[in-house]
Amino acid sequence: ERRSEAQLYFQMVEPIPEWEPDNEVWGVNFPRQYESYKKTLDTTFQSKYYGSVMIDYLERYPEMVVMWAGYAFSRDYNQGRGHYYSVKDVHNTLRTGVPQPATCWTCKSTDVPRLMNEMGPSEFYAHTWAEMGPEIQNPIGCQDCHDPNTMNLRITRPALAEAFERQGIDINDATRQEMRSLVCAQCHVEYYFGEDNYLIFPWDEGFSADEMEYYKDRVGHTDWVHALSRAPMLKAQHPDYELYKTGIHAQRDVSCADCHMPYKREGGIKFTDHHLRSPLDNIENSCMVCHRQSEATLQANVYDQQNRVSELRRIAERNLARVHIEAKHAWDAGANEEEMEDILQLIRHSQWRWDWVAAANAMGFHSSSEALRVLATSIQKAQEASIKLTSVFNRYGVEYPIEMPDLSTKEKAQEYIGLDMEKIREEKEEFLEKTLPQWLGSI
């Protein structure tokens, strides 16, 4: 008889201390959520562009290496996987081979709210990545999204609350449905490091690519100067929330959790599936609640849109790699700052716009028409730069078109920009063998 299933229990077996970082402790009370959460360990699913498998982005899109010359991303960049791996992947990435601030930990661990509570956010950000290393033991988990007393959703990362505050919005006024996306917006958003590596979400002028570009120009922020073109570059990081906001699902109040954490029912108990992953691994529960089409049709709808976005992003990448190299040749031929100024500005904006789509997950599905619009303007700006560069070449007698290096693989591209990958890998290995065990054994 399954009738008694219909009862709901919300009983805390063991009260959870405030700032408890260990998921297992929470799991005692909420075994269903915990069991499903642990499934983010699984790395088998792969869709056409995403999934929880490891995907080496630089291998797949080698032009990126050139586009990030002089920046740590040209060493190593993988497609994200399950929340369970968040700390491990930061240890492993070659990007942490260069000195990084503790700010890098912000979105990676339930230990962060604990530390921030102890020392305050500014103090936390002011440390180095390595200094905080031994404190960071647990991956993303319950503490990041929940209040341990009420189990209500809760914002634990100050950057989000501050960004809304600057726009005059009190995040405590958010509705429950908004919270089902806002907890994700603590991390799945574009950010930059301000003074003393303070974490800032650049939303003061608005959420769109154009508005954030305007904001960054206004505050004069530059992430790095490009090693080839010398352009003052911007890096966009996973503006998932921002892109999603412009899409039809957000406009219809469909939240991140609706697709990535659909409700599940076991007997009479309804609970939220905490196996966060690609909805394509779970179309039936995720999409078919609202859409009556078959799994095959819905998957085809997603791929249709992703294929279009992918086509444009590939065009943008080829244009951008080319224009960086062309700019390098212009400098080499003797071009001066004045001649290059607006060219470099175009490159900055073009790459920002490409990145705004490429760094966002889902290959534009979260809002395909906005993604395509932004990519089109990226293409336009890089080519505008190329057009202007030909005038410079003309002036300095450089033959056009410039011959392009072979960028068909990650290795070739890394060699072209002069990265000593062997050394970088050795250093990482040393860290993993010597330092890391100390960190992990530290608590």
| 205 Cα distance to chain centroid | 21
Which CB, 54 or 443, lies closer to ligand HEC? 54
Q: How far is the CB of 252 from other proteins (least distance, A)?
A: 8
Which of 350, 349, 357, 258 is closest to 306 using CA atoms?
357
Residue 134 exposed, middle or buried by CB count within 10 Å (0-12, 13-18, 19+): middle
Which of the choices Ca ion, other proteins, ligand HEC, none does residue 6 contact, using the CB cut-off of 5 to 8 A by kind?
other proteins
Query: Residues 174 to 203: which contact other proteins by CB under 8 A?
Result: 175-177
The entry of other proteins, ligand HEC, Ca ion, none near residue 249 (CB within 5 to 8 angstroms by kind) is: ligand HEC
Least separation, in Å, of the C-beta of 173 and a copy of itself?
22
The dihedral through the CA atoms of 413, 418, 423, 428 has a sign that is negative
Closer to Ca ion by Cβ: residue 198 or 365: 365
* Partner interacting with residue 269 (select from other proteins, ligand HEC, Ca ion, none; CB below 5-8 Å by kind): other proteins
Tell which residue, 279, 274, 277, has the closest CA to residue 302.
279
What track of x and - describes contact with other proteins for positions 298 through 327 (by CB under 8 A)? ------------------------------
The answer to whether 6 contacts other proteins (rule: CB under 8 A) is yes
H-helix or E-strand spanning residue 272: strand 269-272
In the complex, the residues that contact a copy of itself under the rule CB under 8 A are 248, 251-252, 293, 297, 301, 304-305, 308, 311-312, 315, 319, 368-370, 372-373, 375-377, 379-380, 383-384, 386-387, 390-391, 393-394, 400-401
Cross-strand bridge partners of residue 270: 265
Q: Tell me how far, at minimum, the Cβ of 388 lies from ligand HEC, in Å.
A: 32
422 scored as a contact of other proteins (CB under 8 A): no
Binding mask 75-114 for Ca ion (x = CB under 5 A): ----xxx---------------------------------
Longest dimension (CA), the chain: 87
Cis peptide before 401 (omega within 30 of 0): yes
Quick check: 295 binds other proteins (CB under 8 A)? Answer: no
Residue 11 near other proteins by CB under 8 A: no
Q: Which helix (H) or strand (E) holds 440?
A: helix 436-440
CB of 104 to ligand HEC, least distance (A): 3
Cα-Cα end-to-end distance for the chain: 48
Interface residues for Ca ion in 32-61 (CB under 5 A)? 50
Min CB(146)–other proteins separation in Å? 12
Of 231 and 346, the one with the shorter C-beta distance to a copy of itself is 346
Residue 136 CA to residue 149 CA, distance in Å, equals 23
DSSP secondary structure, 356-424, as one string:
HHHTSTTTTGGGHHHHHHHHHHHHHHHHHHHHHHHHHHHHHT--SSPPPP--SSHHHHHHHTT--HHHH
Residue whose token pair is 């336009």: 380
Q: Which does 268 bind (CB under 5 to 8 A by kind): a copy of itself, ligand HEC, other proteins, none?
A: other proteins
Q: Minimum Å distance from CB 22 to ligand HEC? A: 10
Task: List phi, psi (to 5°) of 366.
Answer: -60, -20
**Comparing C-alpha atoms, which of 243, 244, 273 is closest to residue 257?**
273
Options 188-196, 330-338, 401-409, 431-439: segment touching ligand HEC (CB under 6 A): 188-196
Q: Which helix (H) or strand (E) holds 216?
A: helix 209-219
**C-beta closer to a copy of itself: residue 265 or 395:** 395
**To the nearest whole angstrom, how small is the minimum distance from the Cβ of residue 122 to ligand HEC?**
15
- Beta-bridge partners for 219: none
The encoded tokens of residue 26 equal 């929470």
Kindly tell me which of 54 and 98 has the beta carbon lying closer to Ca ion: 54
